[in-house]
Amino acid sequence: MLKQANPDGRFWIKIDGTDVKTALMESMRGKWNGDVDLGDGALQELRKKYDERQKDITALADKEQSRENLVYKLSGCIETISDDVTFLNKGFTAAVKKYKEKYSSASTPVTTLKDCNWDVVEYQTLLEDAQAIRSICGKCKKELAIGCSEHQLKTCKALLRDSTPKVKAYTRDLFKKKRAAAGHVEVIMISNEKRNCKPYALPVKFVPCQTLKDEQVRDLNQEIKQSMAKNGLKVVGWFL
């Protein structure tokens, strides 16, 4: 479009940003939004781990699996939850420290104090949930020791199935603490240097972020420069 409008034009890459309300969401279809996504694959890797965790939770409640297979999965679940507890303890300590710092400052807005307090409560709740889930898994693993009866096996499977919704909800909330919420959206546009014909500035990329360093901006622009050159557009520079 830009090439047809001005075949001999010189073009600039322009960047502007806008604030967005900070929030991490997951739709009923499982779609995430509100995350920082710099196009480096970090968000996609985190989502992959999340999907694998949810898949493992569903598999743990499979009523057709053997005792040996169930014991193996329970061992993995206990180990994973133990890693979660380590992560949550660090997050809880940091959240309490931040809340105390904000509380001791007379200029801290009430809204900020509420947010910090909720962060502490959320970490504390997640720690309690993690301990409860680990306890259930440990109890089932103990019940499934060699020589357990068929009745004990069925009882453990039923308990795990009943716990599945709670474990999935815990996992969703846990990963919210691992995700990073975007506070800004950087808009990258291509603009004709003379701005004497439409389109004056064409948005080509949106980057949800918290902050961007110059080197990150250069990396983001590199792909756009290559695409512009491929389409015969002369790039003369970029600015914020």
pLDDT digits (tens, 9 = 90+) for 43-54: 999 999 999 999
Nearest to 11 by CA among 205, 146, 221, 189: 189
* In the predicted structure, residue 196 carries a pLDDT above the cut 80: no
* In the predicted structure, residue 240 carries a pLDDT above the cut 70: no
* In the predicted structure, residue 113 carries a pLDDT above the cut 90: yes
Q: Which position has the higher pLDDT, 50 or 3?
A: 50
The sheet with strand 184-192 has its strands ordered as: 201-209, 184-192, 10-19, 234-239
What is the tens place of the pLDDT at every residue in 135-180? 999 999 998 887 778 888 899 999 999 999 999 999 999 999 999 9
Task: Check: CB of residue 144 under 8 Å from CB of residue 74.
Answer: yes
10 Å CB burial of residue 238 (0-12, 13-18, 19+) is: buried
Would you list the domain boundaries of the chain?
Answer: 2-22+182-239, 41-178
d(CA 84, CA 76): 12
Task: Check: CB of residue 103 under 8 Å from CB of residue 112.
Answer: no
Q: What is the pLDDT averaged over residues 10-22?
A: 87
Please tell me the pTM assigned to this model.
Answer: 0.85
Determine which of 19-28, 94-103, 199-208 has the lowest per-residue pLDDT on average: 199-208
The pLDDT of residue 36? 95
What is the tens place of the pLDDT at every residue in 61-99? 898 888 999 999 999 999 999 999 999 999 999 999 999
Q: What is the pLDDT averaged over residues 1-28?
A: 84
How many CB atoms within 10 Å of residue 182?
Answer: 23
Q: Which residues pair with 203 in a beta bridge?
A: 189
The pLDDT of residue 159? 94
Nearest to 77 by CA among 10, 8, 168, 208: 168
- DSSP E strands: which ranges in the chain? 10-19, 25-26, 32-33, 184-192, 201-209, 234-239
Q: Which residues pair with 18 in a beta bridge?
A: 185
Q: What is the pLDDT averaged over residues 15-39?
A: 91
* In the predicted structure, residue 239 carries a pLDDT above the cut 60: no
DSSP 108: -
The mean pLDDT value of the chain amounts to: 90
The band of 238, judged by pLDDT with boundaries at 50, 70 and 90, is low
